[in-house]
Amino acid sequence: MSSAPKQSNSTPFFYHHLPKNLLLILLSFICLPVTATLVLLSLYSSRTTPNAPKREQKQDQDAKQNAKARDQVPITILVTGVSMTKGLSIARLLSQYTPHLILGADVEHIPNTSPGRYSRSLTAFFPLTPPDANSAEPYIESLAHLIRATNVDLWISCSSVVSAVEDGEVVRRVEKGIRERNWDGRIFKAVQFSEDVVQELHSKDRFLEFVRGIGEVVPETHRCESPDAVVRILKKERKGTVGNTDAKKNGRRKDEKKDMRYILKPIGVDDRARGNMMTLLPLPTVKETTEYISTLSIGKSNPYILQQYISGPEYCTHALVIRGVVQAFVACPSSDLLMHYEALDPSAPLTQDMLRFTEKVAKEKGENFTGHLSFDFLAEGDREGEKSELFPIECNPRAHTAVVLFQDEPRMAQRYLDIFSASSERPHAKQDVLVPEMQCPRYYWAGHDLVALVIIPVLDLLWGQASVADVKKGGWEFWTHLRDWRDGTFEAWDPVPFLVLYHVYWPMKFLESVLNGKQWSRTTKIFEC
């Protein structure tokens, strides 16, 4: 949820850079006694549990049938990205439901502040060298060295948006090193796509070209490397002469083109553009349109795509793919800043359509295609999905936070271990795609909701920008989440990462922002301005 203020003649002081950072640090100190008490009680109640919770419960028939000899001998599994919820969730899952050695690693820009470092699910945590200003080589080499030095058997990558390509390079280097050293019996597997696959799928325009190539419908899209290119396309659009081929393919009449609206978004990572990505073009006048486009940093080194605006709801997916076969899949409602996760009904037509698309992409990429795969979709038409048209708009060839929805699923741990099955034993259609149980918890983040649903409405009320009804609405939603939902970071048997996240990691981030003067927008997920 955004922390941007509502439209007003004056911006409240607490939205400005220095006050909001200092207020958030103060809030962390105020809440510390409550968090510390919760953590101490959780630790006390779990004192009799020497490790993660017992791997009791449901030893699934599927897991029993696939419990190969290798699964019985402890292996070393490295999970990277454990500072993020997705990495921490996977580490906890494997710690609970496998007998293996779980290592964690991540970049720590501020030493000793990674929440994952303090998780009971990890046997050891290793800080990785961050990329420097000119090269990602320090990061790549530190991760490759860690994999070699600790004799990692399975690496599960939970890349950030800026390290997915580099993680693909790590796989290539480690596998090449094993071949060159002729290490007999050394088996190394990675849940991570190669760098060329990541580059193709991550690039918005190249991904849409790929989707067209496999016969799927995509929104009309144009790559633009200058503001003038955007203006020219919009002028042609007014005349109904742009993209007629796509219009026919998408089942749209030529005369409908004149009413089509577009959005502009960067092909790469550009946090400064996030706040404007839903601006609909063209604006009422040519002058307004031209002036708006000129404010964006569009160029050959920072290309944008001009994409047809689809007015329907947005969805996101997460899948585990092993050798071109989708092993696990979940779909969720989405938004530009997703801080609430709720699984869609796996049997719903819309969910099945998204799964079909994911399986088609995985099959197209073949047996060497192994990793986490996520897509963003827009649906136009019936919101229930019976008659809606689905448009894939982006691919994230890395783990999605939606993996948290599998956190209590023992069979998910086994699906990761299926990577050691022989190629000839690929499950194909004989093994159903794993989906979350229908009673799967919904997830929220307490720190985000406290600020977005309680603190900001109260401050807005005091500033005259909100009503008592707004405060009541936010407070009731926060209470509902606290009562019925589940926090994405807190676990009673592993509570320390929750404490570190809100009382070490974020306060240090806010303090760093104050000291270096870098402004940011959004609450709980910082984007530079």
Selected residue with higher pLDDT from 205 and 248: 205
Measured CA to CA, the distance from residue 229 to residue 223 in angstroms comes to 9
Buried/exposed 50-64: b ≥16 CB within 10 Å, e otherwise: eebbeeeeeebebbe
Of 263-272, 324-333, 405-414, give the lowest mean pLDDT range: 263-272
262: β partners? 281, 308
**Lowest mean pLDDT: which of 206-220, 414-428, 441-455?**
414-428
Where residue 296 falls (left for φ over 0; alpha for ψ -120 to 50; beta otherwise) is beta
Q: Judge contact between 220 and 245, C-beta under 8 A.
A: no
Task: Lowest mean pLDDT of 43-47, 97-101, 390-394, 509-513, name the range.
Answer: 43-47
The tokens of 339 are what? 């801080």
Name the phi and psi angles at 328, rounded to 5: -145, 145
Nearest to 287 by CA among 235, 226, 337, 322: 235
Phi then psi for residue 464, to 5 deg, are 80, 20
Distance CA 259, CA 261 (A): 6
Domains of the chain (ranges plus CATH)?
A: 13-46+446-487+492-528 (no CATH), 61-201 (3.40.50.20), 220-308 (no CATH), 314-441 (3.30.470.20)
In degrees and rounded to multiples of 5, residue 224 shows phi and psi of -125, 130
Three-state SS for 304-342 is: EEEEECCCCCEEEEEEEEECCEEEEEEEEECCCCCCCEC
Q: Is the dihedral of CA 485, 490, 491, 492 positive or negative?
A: negative
**DSSP-assigned letter for residue 114:** -
**Residues, the chain, total?**
529
Asked whether the predicted pLDDT for residue 394 surpasses 90, the reply is yes
What's the CA gap between 247 and 270, in Å, rounded?
29
Six-digit token string for 250: 């998408």
Q: Which of 512, 329, 417 is nearest to 93 (CA)?
A: 417
Question: For 19-55, what is each residue's pLDDT tens digit?
Answer: 999 999 999 999 999 999 999 999 998 876 555 454 4
Give the per-residue pLDDT at 253.
42
Write the single-letter amino acid at 241. T
Main-chain dihedrals φ then ψ at residue 444, nearest 5 degrees? -145, 175
Identify whether the C-beta of residue 373 lies closer than 8 Å to the C-beta of residue 433.
no
**Which residue type is seen at 463?**
W
Q: Once rounded to an integer, what is the mean pLDDT over residues 88-109?
A: 96
> pTM, whole model, 2 decimals?
0.88
Query: Token digits for 130?
Result: 């961050």
Segments of 143-205 assigned E as strands = 154-156, 189-191
CA atoms of 64 and 299, how far apart (whole Å): 55
**Look-up: residue for tokens 């040519």?**
286
